[in-house]
Homo-oligomer: A and B are copies of this chain.
Amino acid sequence: MRILLVEDTEGLGEVIQDQVADEGHAVDWVKCISQADSSLRTTDYDLILLDLMLPDGNGIDLLKKIRNLGETTPVIILTARDQISDRINGLNAGADDYLVKPFDLSELCARIAAVSRRYAGNPNPIIHLGALEVDMTKHLIFRDGITVNLTAREWALLEAFIQRPGTLLSKSQLEDHLYAFGSEIESNTIEVYISRLRKKLGKDQLETVRGLGYRMGYSGPQGR
């Protein structure tokens, strides 16, 4: 379970980490100091914890921005006790829940667990490979957070590797994955597409095993 924590004060992240990690979920949290940082890719997270006390603007605006993108990731608002109006605005802006500071950690964990249970049914399979993030269902790829556009063939090739991470795939296997039976290829098409993928995804992602084929996704013992 990946949690995006948007706050400017410190410490909460570690605490959540410690508390929730033991419950079986992996907590992968990110601290964002500003709106600018966090407004990027909320799709990658299963839950957003949003502190309304951001230095550079109202957190409500950020929430609205997220919802306006059609994003349905659940959001729990963290708010100080004296900001009652903020809570109401937050819920109106599309928050799923809110907690008033200071709150009990067990309370927070309970809410997190509830949310994670609710969303366990439809996990969005997002694959992380180093700097790459691949959303298989939405057909989206990010490299260091930047969208990468792949053509149909390029995507198909990548797919072959993602389906068998760490497996060595020969060129003829890859051809079989890309082309229908009859249509035989008589040039170095695979090599060309490997090259194109490397250019778009980064050199390190695809490993060449001379004489045998290519491999992606595991270990990269590097360098030689």
**Stoichiometry, copies per complex:** 2
Partner of A140, one of B67, B200, B218, B224: B218
28 contacts between A and B (CB under 8 A): A18-B121, A19-B118, A22-B118, A23-B114, A43-B166, A68-B128, A68-B129, A69-B218, A70-B129, A70-B162, A71-B165, A72-B106, A72-B107, A92-B123, A96-B113, A104-B122, A106-B122, A137-B167, A138-B167, A138-B168, A139-B167, A139-B168, A140-B166, A147-B219, A147-B221, A149-B222, A151-B210, A152-B212
- Report, as a range, how many residues of chain A touch the other chain: 35 or more
**In the A-B complex, the 4 residue pairs with the closest CB atoms:** A70-B165, A68-B128, A152-B211, A139-B168
Most chain B CB within a 10 A radius of its CB, from A105, A138, A153:
A138
A223 within 8 A of B: yes
